[in-house]
Amino acid sequence: MDFSTFLIQLLNSLQYGLLLFLVASGLTLIFGIMGIINLAHGSFYMMGAYMAFSLTSLSGNLLVAILVGIVLSVLIGFLLEWALFSRLYKRDHLDQVLLTYGLILIFEELRSLLVGDDVHGVPIPELLSASIQLSDTLNYPVYRLFMSAVCILLAIVMYWLIRYTRLGMMIRAGSSNREMVQALGINIDLIYRIVFGLGVTLAAFAGMLAAPVSSVYPGMGNQVLIICFVVVVIGGVGSVWGALVAALLIGLADTFGKVIAPDYAGLAVYVLMAAVLLWRPEGIFRRI
């Protein structure tokens, strides 16, 4: 592998890793702060992708579809938290797994009823459809650079939100001691609802962003769910910073695994997980 190819593959890894981070950060927030094992998180990702497809077909523009999709996802997130997830905080993990598994089935059936079981492509908006020449044979699509830029921006915003704002402080406090925060007169229920809505929206947004480059197909949520749990486990449960580092590591392992040993492409990520867990059983980082 020559140097320029290496750099381009690095770019591919970064782009994949950042997208994974976007999905996994919501999962780790919900898991780490509210203590809920949310198997339906992949379904939110799929929901986003199908929203991008349907709304783009209606409006003719992906960027408009994304804006409308975000508003819808926030509403759906709040609704789900109010109707279902708020009842789960005090239940044990088995109940959580059962309910969220049921949600996966419901989401798949709903998708099948509303949009059907076909594979769909989503057109890249005109504005971002160009390519940049990176090596003498390879062009790199501008849209992928745009995806990475958006993900980096969101990572920075989230870091700032959790680290330096009052809301972030309450979220951090709520994750370590719910009763104490409540006793101090803070509306912890509202905070949980905001965190959950944020998690759902992040996953759905990732799905919308990924739709043009990864297609929209049944079962796409479950595929991403597994890899996201790997990200959360490697990064450390509840740590957004850890999720970022882990997602980037997985991006590297997956991309270079595919190229160096294509026959074992699926394996690289799990080897990485095993190696990290041997070294640090609780993941690379702990807590927010």
Binding site for other proteins (CB under 8 A): 1-2, 5, 8-9, 12-13, 15-16, 117-121, 131, 133, 135, 137-141, 144, 213-215, 217-218, 223, 255, 258-259, 262-263, 265-266
Cβ proximity to other proteins, 8 vs 84, nearer residue: 8
Distance of alpha carbon 55 from alpha carbon 63, whole angstroms:
10
Cβ proximity to other proteins, 8 vs 161, nearer residue: 8
> What's the Cα-to-Cα distance from 182 to each of 197, 267, 283, rounded to whole Å?
20, 45, 29
Cβ proximity to other proteins, 157 vs 226, nearer residue: 226
Cβ proximity to other proteins, 13 vs 28, nearer residue: 13
Cβ proximity to other proteins, 211 vs 234, nearer residue: 211
Which secondary-structure segment (H or E) carries 133? strand 131-133
Q: Are strands 139-141 and 131-133 parallel, antiparallel or unpaired?
A: antiparallel
Q: Quote the least distance from Cβ 19 to other proteins, whole Å.
A: 10
Listed residue (278, 223, 264) closest to 23, CA to CA: 223
Distance of alpha carbon 5 from alpha carbon 9, whole angstroms:
6
Cα-based angle 260, 215, 40 (whole degrees, multiple of 5): 95
Distance of alpha carbon 272 from alpha carbon 254, whole angstroms:
10
> What's the Cα-to-Cα distance from 144 to each of 107, 124, 147, 251, 276, rounded to whole Å?
28, 10, 5, 14, 29
In sequence order, what are the residues at sequence separation of 6 or more whose Cβ sits closer than 8 angstroms to the Cβ of residue 254? 13, 16, 265, 268, 269
Q: Are 244 and 258 in contact (CB under 8 A)?
A: no
Residue 203 token pair = 């996953």
Cβ proximity to other proteins, 16 vs 21, nearer residue: 16
